[in-house]
Structure formats: structure tokens, C-alpha cells
Amino acid sequence: MISVSFAATRTASKKTSAVAIFVGEDGAIPNKAALGSLHSYVTHALANDAFNGKKGDVLTLVNPQSGPSHVVVVGLGALKSLTATQLEEAGARALAAALATRATQLDLIATLPKASPIDAATAAARLGSGAHLRAYRFDKYRTKDKASDKPVLKSVTVVTSAADKAKKAYAPLAAIADAVAFTRNLVSEPANILYPETLAAECKKLSKLGVTVEVLSETQMKKLGMGALLGVGQGSRRESKLVVMQWHGGKKGAKPVALVGKGVTFDTGGISIKPSGGMEEMKWDMAGSATVIGTMRALAARKAKANVVGVVGLVENMPDGNAQRPGDVVKSMSGQTIEVINTDAEGRLVLADALWYCQDRFKPQAMVNLATLTGAILVCLGSHRAGLFSNNDGVANSLMASADTTNERLWRMPMGPEYDKMINCDIADMQNVGEGREAGSTTAAQFLQRFVNDVPWAHLDIAGVAWQNKPSSPLAPKGAVGWGVRLLSDWVETNYEK
Ligand code: BES
Ligand code: MN
Ligand code: ZN
């Protein structure tokens, strides 16, 4: 991992270091002094390049003189409307550019142009956390990397006039960034390593941070009547688990906020088996649960002043002599029966029991679930936004606001009785899919809604955003995004920590 520190003056002066500066649309270099002898060269280069400080643009200059090997110039766009999250993304872009050089040290010059509304300490902290987030790499199974294949960048120094304050502002951001990395690790692990039992063991590690963790076995779930969840795991050699995590940071006795996650550690589709092309991607069908676990870690690490409970349903969906069949009828903990038309629509079966259990035991003031639930949400929204489904405008709007703040974006999708009807069934209380493919993400949401019992609730369908094959979030490399940890941490902070 790369270390991030804060200092009042530049440390990078050697040929093995790079310097990054941040420039708005006016193209003005904000801190002449920090660039020192590089200033005239950089001014000249900027005057002769098409780079014009647009948001997201990056220019990497090779320094022909003595001093740092490269100067990375990152565009901030319109300075008046600059946000903390945009600065995080700018820090991430600087880091990505520095990784492409052979620099071992990167100085981020955090002085911003005067027109920016962000104070110096916040700016520096956000640039640092963006770099921290983007530096993530999952390479534990690469045994043959030569030294020259590995990133050489070791440390980032954020150069700021407010170093002490910035360090303080950085602490909670670093806790969140560590939790995002933890979530990405879980999502990246292959299914022979990460299965319900080992994922539950990862949850247990949160007890060190003061989170209470309980792991329910199949026997315990059977007693509770969780036939929907258990039916999914029935074809697997791995025992299904339900994990309950509690963080008590708020007032004693205050109703908690609940986060619920789909944790299908591998989704073959079951007897309704998936085509083999791309099936390896179904190792990340537990991303919803990984986000819940990571968020619990972030909340505990930054000692959030709220009571939050996380519930994750962990199963493996396999075809087997004992697997459930299309047409099987299962009974959920709520007492409602379900005809399993398609064993590949398994996430909603897992969540049916996890959601019911959660609201029944904790009576939460609000409940949000995350799930890589439908391929259809990818068709609707691509990889730019997750689908938001809710029975409550207040919860939906507060989530939308946090999504905008953190740039982990959402789009609200419709629900209603006309869609609910589509999962009615002749032989049971409901079936687990609609007829045909129409409104596939909404019928899945309607199914979940039948298990939330009037609790203010939202479902985030993250099938399009949990994993990126091409970089679309600047804060993450290719692969697991850790999507939602920043969003949910912000949502809890903004709405429940007063
Ligand atoms: N885990 C999948 C959804 C998914 C698809 C996640 C692509 C990530 C990327 C889910 O369990 C599933 O198989 N859904 C089916 C539902 C269908 C059978 C109604 C789907 O989307 O095809
Ligand atoms: Mn499936
Ligand atoms: Zn699935």
C-alpha cells in the first residue's frame, strides 16, 4: 500500500519523484512558489498544449531539467462549483498518472486557485484520500510479476499550508478508504477461497473494532423458517450462513438503521444454469454483502454516532443432485410461499429471508439493501448508476442526495401495484420471476418489497456498478469498485448522526 502524508513544503526533488498540480479552467498555476524552478517550464508547456484545465483532463509532462522526473497537471474544471468529491477524483487521477511513470514518490501540491470554495485543509485531505483509493491493487495471486511489472510508487505527500488540520480531516477519510479496499478485496476473491463460511469469518474480524457479530448456521436458520434462503444454498457443499453485525454508536435504545446485503458467493444459476461465457464474473455476486460489511467497518473505524445493523445472507448457488428445482415451492420466514420458477433468480430469495429477519428483530427506522440482483439493470442504466427502488420518498431522496455528494450515482426506478401483480402465482403466494423479461429489475424489487413489512426501505440494484471492466469510476482501478461504501457512510452521517 501507498502511504499518504501531509507537509508544508515539497519533498520530491529527485529524479525518482513526480509532482502534481491542480489547475482550473482559467489555466492559472495556483502555487508558483511550490513549483520553484519548475514554474517557468510548466507555464511554457501549458501555454503550448491543448490542455485547458477541463475537469478530468490530465497532462503528464516529462521534466527535461534537474529535479522531479514528471509534472502531472490535473484539470479541475469550473472552480466556483468545485466539490470535495471532485477533488478526491482529481487526487485519484494524479495518482493514476504517476503510476504510469517510474516515480517512487508523488507530491500533490494542494494549493487551489482562489476561486475555489473549498478550504485548504479539506482540499488537501480529499486529494490524499483520492490518491489512497486509486492506489488499490489486487495482486496477491500474481506470483510471477517481475520487479519492473510492479508499481514502484511508494508514498504520496500532500503539500499544504494547513498540514495539521488536513491530517485531522484525513483520518475519517482514510478509515473509509481502508473499508473500500476491504470491500474490494472481498469482491475480488475467487469463490474457491471466499464462500459463506470464510466470508462470515471476514465479518468476525469486525469485532476488533467494536462491532457485535453473530453467525447463524443452517440449523438455526431452519428453526427460524428461512426456507427461501436455505433453498438457494441447498445444492452447495458449502453451508449457508446469515451474519448479523451491530454497531452501537448512537443513543442507547434508539432504533437502528439497517443495511442488508446479497451475498451469493458464486452464482452458477443453479439448475436454471447460466451459459459458461462470462460465468466467472459471478464470483462477485456477493458484492452487496461486501458493501454492507465494508460500510460497517467504515462506521466503526470512524466511530459513527449512530446505531447501525448489517445483515448479510451468504449462500452459494450450485446445481447438484440436492439442488432446488424449477417449480419447487419454498416457504419463507414471513410465512409467504414462493414458487421457484427460475433458480437463477436466487438473490431475491436470499434477501426475502434476510430482510424479513432484519425488520422482525430490529424494527429499524430505515432499511437499505444492496444486491447484484438483475442483469436488466445493466440494460437500463449501464455501469454509470445503480438502480434505486423504494417505498418511501424520504429515504429515496436522502439516498439520492448522498449519491450526488459521493458521485456513487443512483437513478430512481418505478414501483407500483401494476408491477407487483406480475409476480402473482397460481399455486403459491408469489413466483420468483415475472412472465417474460418485461420490467425485470422492477419485478425483482416488487418481490423484495413483499418482505419489508412497511418499514421505510430502499433497494439498490448494483449489478452494473460493482465491477468495472473499463475504468469508469476514477477512484478505482479495473475490477472491484467497492461501490456504495462511501455513499452509505455519507448517508448515515448526514441523516442519522445528529
Ligand atoms: N446475479 C445475477 C444478476 C447479475 C447479472 C449480476 C449480471 C451481475 C451481472 C442474478 O442472480 C440473476 O441471475 N438474475 C437473473 C434474473 C432472471 C433469471 C429473472 C438475470 O438477471 O438474468
Ligand atoms: Mn442468478
Ligand atoms: Zn445472482
The mean-pLDDT minimum among 144-153, 191-200, 227-236 falls in: 144-153
Residue 47 CA to ligand 2 centre (angstroms): 54
Distance, in Å, from the CA atom of 376 to the CA atom of 495, rounded to the nearest integer, reads 31
CATH for 189-496 is: 3.40.630.10
Roughly what angle, to the nearest 10 degrees, separates helices 163-188 and 287-301?
Answer: 150
Type of residue at 366: A
Q: Whose CA is nearest to atom 8 of ligand 1?
A: 463
Assess whether pLDDT exceeds 70 at residue 185: yes
Give the start-end residues of each E strand in 211-279.
212-216, 241-248, 257-267
- Sequence-ordered strand ranges (E) for 430-480: 430-431, 457-461, 467-468, 479-480
Write out residues with Cβ below 6 Å of ligand 1. Answer: 267, 285, 342, 344-347, 372, 374-376, 433, 440, 463
Is residue 182 pLDDT above 70, yes or no? yes
Distance (angstroms) between ligand 2 centre and the Cα of 255 equals 33
Which has the higher per-residue pLDDT, 134 or 37?
134
The pair phi, psi for residue 61, each rounded to 5°, is: -100, 135
26-55 average pLDDT score: 90
Amino acid at 123: A
Is 274 an annotated catalytic residue?
yes
Candidate from 229, 372, 374, 467 with most ligand 1 atoms within 8 A of CB, to mutate: 374
- Measured in angstroms, how far is the CA atom of residue 274 from the centroid of ligand 1? 9
By percentage, how much of the chain surpasses pLDDT 90? Answer: 91
Is residue 12 over pLDDT 70? no
Res. 160 pLDDT band, cuts 50 70 90: very high
**What does CATH list as the number for 3-161?**
3.40.220.10
Could you read off the pLDDT of 62-78 as tens digits, one per residue?
999 889 999 999 999 99
State the distance from the centre of ligand 3 to the C-alpha of 317, rounded, in angstroms: 8
Annotated catalytic residue within 348, 385, 450, 486: 348
Query: What is the pLDDT confidence band of residue 322, given thresholds at 50, 70 and 90?
Result: very high
d(CA 194, CA 184): 13
H/E stretch holding 173 reads helix 163-188
Distance CA 291, CA 328 (A): 31
- Which of 274, 305, 409, 412 is catalytic? The answer is 274
Nearest ligand by distance to the CA of 315: 3
Average pLDDT, integer, range 9-29: 87
Residues forming a β-bridge with 246: 212, 309
Query: Is 115 in contact with 23 (CB distance < 8 Å)?
Result: no
Ligand 1 closest atom vs CA 466 = 8
Q: 52 by DSSP, 3-state: which?
A: coil
DSSP 359: H
SS3 425: coil
Task: Note the Cα 283 to chain centre separation in Å.
Answer: 16
Question: So what's the pLDDT on residue 113?
Answer: 79
**How close is the Cα of 377 to the center of ligand 1, in Å?**
9
Give yes or no for residue 425 having a pLDDT over 90: yes
Q: How far apart are CA 414 and CA 441, in angstroms?
A: 10
Residues with C-beta atoms within 5 A of ion ligand 3:
264, 267, 285, 347
Query: Using CA positions, which residue lies closest to atom 13 of ligand 1?
Result: 344
| Geometric angle at alpha carbon 167, from 164 and 171, rounded to 5° | 150
Q: What's the whole-number average pLDDT of the chain?
A: 96
Closest ligand 1 atom to the C-alpha of 434?
A: 19
Specify the 3-state DSSP secondary structure of 391: coil
The residues near 113 (Cβ < 8 Å, ≥ 6 apart) are: 23, 24, 26, 28, 30, 76, 79
Instruction: State the closest ligand 1 atom to the C-alpha of 444, by its place in the atom list counted from 1.
Output: 19
Asked whether 424 and 496 are in contact (CB, 8 A), the reply is no
Q: Ligand 1 atom 5: the closest Cα is on which residue?
A: 375
114: pLDDT confidence band, cut at 50, 70 and 90? confident
pLDDT in tens, 346-378: 999 999 999 999 999 999 999 999 999 999 999
User: What's the Cα-to-Cα distance from 212 to each of 6, 123, 310, rounded to whole Å?
Assistant: 34, 35, 10
Q: Where are the domains of the chain?
A: 3-161, 189-496
User: How much is the pLDDT for 34?
Assistant: 84
Extract the C-alpha cell encoding 342: 427460475
> 208: buried, middle or exposed (CB in 10 Å: 19+, 13-18, 0-12)?
exposed
Q: Which helix (H) or strand (E) holds 153?
A: none
Q: Predicted confidence band at 250 (pLDDT cuts at 50, 70, 90)?
A: very high
pLDDT tops 80 at residue 14 = no
CA distance 263 to 257: 19
**Amino acid type, 377:** I
CA dist 285 and 278 (Å) reads 13
In the annotation, is 325 catalytic? no
Is residue 194 exposed (0-12), middle (13-18) or buried (19+ Cβ within 10 Å)?
buried
CA of 372 to the centre of ligand 1 (A): 7
Instruction: Name the least confident of 108-117, 186-195, 226-235, 397-406.
Output: 108-117
